[in-house]
């Protein structure tokens, strides 16, 4: 990675303004149901505190649309972070303003302040320069450890870097190193697995993966569009009819490049889109009217396993079926099992954030693969080869 990190700057006695990704799921009563993102931020926070800095943390939570909405308050995060750090975490009443500035300035080395939700202000997503300057007054140095928001040019990810020296945290560094090395210098064979509902979300990714991977495995709802592009009838399955030509182009590109482009050979169909739908195995050319493809089948897992058998680098982005329905999560879970096996045998396995990361967490396999990205949209845009504003704004080494 060619970006400077917290290791490259002296933080002793400094107030560090750190962008973290504390956009965690909450239940109806406001309790955190998954603290993975909070735990992922701990190494950088602890390093800064141990190095004699005070830390001002900022994050968004949910989509309050530029207005104060108590159900999106970061107070539960402050409580959980305090438990994890084993020390008090002060909670600011807002993220800008005189009271917040006074709290930040009063911090002593080793102390932590968490700002209230950045998105309670519309100026955050608008990357308003005046708002960014207000945030910048809260620190002497800026650290971005929120890879999941790095694809957005917001006040807290890009704007503040115009007023403060800006470096990466350890989580940001880890994400860029794993994803970057997979795309630029992969150990081969390099196999990419792409799933999810829509081809339209993945066209740019697939274009790039066909250029750099040795094989591409396709699953999820997006496979239906490729089936139909090949002339198959897929019943009531989700299909993007306006992307059939794109699907044909991608398959032709892979063929012309002598890249393996592997579609499912069997599928699990349901009689409706529901968790308790009847589940029947069939082939993609025998989907009945009124039924819809909701998962890949066991023969597809065998076929995918043959491709993965000697893979040295694997990038997995997007689930193989409707993973939130247990009956139709079987393909995704079986694939995760294959990735765990490859990891144990020395392969580098990278889970590209979003639904695929959630599925790996739910399967209890997060610590059995090489790297689980914390960025959904950011991972996707990075895989596409796009410049991430939050990364580009950081100092070079």
Beta bridge partners of 19: 58, 144
Task: Tell me the three state secondary structure of residue 142.
Answer: strand
Residue 72, pLDDT above cutoff 80: yes
How far is 209 from 203, CA to CA, in rounded Å?
10
Evaluate if residue 376 carries a pLDDT over 80.
no
Give the pLDDT of residue 375: 79
Q: Which of 97, 95, 159, 93 is CA-nearest to residue 126?
A: 159
Phi and psi at 325, nearest 5°, equal: -100, 115
Distance CA 210, CA 263 (A): 14
* Same fold: 6-171 with 178-384: yes
CB atoms within 10 A of CB 348: 20
Q: What does the alpha-carbon distance between residue 317 and residue 343 come to, in Å, rounded to a whole number?
A: 16
What is the rounded CA–CA span in Å between residue 266 and residue 58? 47
The Cα–Cα gap between 161 and 335 comes to 41
259 is a catalytic site residue: no
Catalytic residue list contains 180: no
Q: Which of 147, 183, 193, 149 is nearest to 356 (CA)?
A: 193
Note the pLDDT tens digit of each residue in 273-286.
Answer: 999 999 999 999 99
Question: What is the pLDDT averaged over residues 10-24?
Answer: 97
DSSP 114: E
Q: What is the mean pLDDT of the chain?
A: 95
The pLDDT value given to residue 184: 84
Cα Rg of the chain, angstroms: 23
> Is the Cβ–Cβ distance between 30 and 70 less than 8 Å?
no
* Residue of 198, 253, 260, 368 marked active site: 198
| Closest to 299 (Cα-Cα) out of 235, 219, 227 | 219
The catalytic position among 3, 15, 19, 37 is 37
Lowest mean pLDDT among 89-93, 166-170, 256-260, 382-386: 382-386
pLDDT at 374 over 90: no
Q: How far is Cα 237 from Cα 219, in angstroms, rounded to an integer?
A: 13
Please report, for the chain, the start and end positions of each structural domain, with discontinuous segments joined by +: 6-171, 178-384
Whole-angstrom Cα distance, residue 391 to residue 88?
A: 30
Residue with tokens 């939130």: 324
Predicted confidence band at 170 (pLDDT cuts at 50, 70, 90)? very high
Asked about 198 being catalytic, the answer comes back as yes
183-233 confidence digits (pLDDT tens): 888 999 999 999 999 999 899 999 999 999 999 999 999 999 999 999 999
What is the percent of the chain where pLDDT is above 70?
99
Per-residue confidence (pLDDT) for residue 6, from 0 to 100: 97
pLDDT band for position 257 (cuts 50, 70, 90) = very high
Residue 1: its pLDDT value, please? 63
Phi, psi (deg, nearest 5) at residue 136: -65, -25
DSSP tally for the chain: helices H, then strands E: 14, 15
Q: How far apart are CA 388 and CA 397, in angstroms?
A: 17
Count of positions (residues) in the chain = 397
* Domain 6-171: CATH superfamily, name plus number: Phosphoglycerate kinase, N-terminal domain (3.40.50.1260)
Span 35-45, pLDDT tens digits = 989 999 999 99
Average pLDDT over every residue of 374-388: 82
Q: Helix H segments across 217-308?
A: 222-229, 244-256, 298-308
**CA 61 to CA 330: how far, in whole Å?**
31
Strands 141-144 and 166-168: parallel
Backbone CA torsion sign across 255, 260, 266, 272 = negative
Task: Kindly report the number of other CB atoms within 10 A of residue 364's CB atom.
Answer: 10
Instruction: Report the alpha-carbon distance of residue 350 to residue 43 in Å, rounded.
Output: 20
- Active site annotation includes 187: no
Given a contact cutoff of 8 angstroms between Cβ atoms, the answer to whether 201 and 380 are in contact is yes
Lowest-confidence segment of 27-31, 37-41, 311-315 by average pLDDT: 27-31
Catalytic residue among 248, 337, 377, 395: 377
Beta bridge partner(s), residue 111: none
DSSP helix/strand/coil, 155:
coil
> For position 180, what pLDDT does the model report?
84
The SS3 of residue 216 is strand
Give me the phi and psi of 194, to 5 degrees please.
-125, 125
pLDDT at position 36 is 86
Q: Which two tokens stand for residue 77?
A: 């995060």
DSSP single-letter state for residue 377: H
Q: Which fold has domain 178-384?
A: Rossmann fold (3.40.50)
Place of tokens 């040295």: 312
Structure confidence by residue, pLDDT tens digits, 319-329: 999 999 999 99
Active site residue: 354, 375, 376, 390, which one?
354
Q: What would you measure as the largest C-alpha separation in the chain, in angstroms?
A: 69
């Amino acid at each position: 990675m060619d970006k400077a990190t917290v290791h490259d700057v002296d933080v002793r006695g400094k107030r560090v303004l750190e962008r973290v990704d504390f956009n965690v799921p909450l239940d109806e009563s406001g309790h955190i149901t998954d603290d993975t993102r909070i735990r992922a931020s701990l190494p950088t926070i602890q390093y800064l505190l141990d190095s004699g800095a005070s830390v001002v943390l900022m994050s968004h939570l949910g989509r309050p649309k530029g207005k104060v909405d108590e159900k999106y308050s970061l107070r539960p995060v402050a409580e959980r972070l305090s438990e994890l750090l084993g020390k008090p975490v002060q909670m600011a009443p807002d993220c800008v303003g005189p009271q917040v500035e006074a709290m930040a300035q009063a911090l002593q080395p080793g102390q932590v302040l968490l700002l209230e939700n950045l998105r309670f202000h519309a100026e955050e997503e608008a990357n308003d320069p005046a708002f960014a300057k207000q945030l910048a007054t809260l620190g002497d140095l800026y650290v971005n450890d929120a890879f999941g928001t790095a694809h957005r040019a917001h006040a807290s990810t890009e704007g503040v870097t115009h007023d403060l020296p800006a470096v990466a945290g350890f989580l940001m560094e880890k994400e860029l190193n794993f994803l970057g090395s997979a795309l630029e210098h992969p150990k081969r064979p390099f196999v990419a697995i792409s799933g999810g509902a829509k081809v339209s979300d993945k066209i740019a990714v697939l274009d790039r993966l066909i250029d750099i991977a040795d094989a591409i495995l396709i699953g999820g709802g997006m496979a239906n569009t490729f089936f139909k592009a090949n002339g198959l009838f897929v019943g009531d399955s989700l299909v993007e009819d306006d992307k059939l030509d794109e699907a044909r182009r991608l398959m032709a590109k892979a063929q012309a490049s002598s890249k393996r482009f592997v579609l499912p050979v069997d599928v699990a169909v349901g009689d409706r889109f529901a968790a308790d739908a009847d589940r029947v195995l069939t082939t993609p050319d025998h989907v009945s009217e009124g039924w819809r493809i909701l998962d890949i089948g066991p023969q597809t897992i065998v076929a995918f396993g043959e491709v993965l058998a000697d893979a040295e680098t694997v990038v997995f982005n997007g689930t193989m079926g409707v993973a939130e329905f247990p009956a139709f999560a079987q393909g995704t879970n079986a694939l995760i099992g294959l990735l765990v096996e490859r990891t144990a045998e020395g392969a580098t396995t990278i889970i590209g954030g979003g639904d695929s990361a959630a599925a790996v967490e739910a399967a209890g396999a997060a610590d059995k693969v090489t790297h689980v990205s914390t960025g959904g949209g950011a991972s996707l845009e990075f895989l596409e080869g796009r410049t991430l504003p939050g990364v580009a704004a950081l100092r070079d080494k």
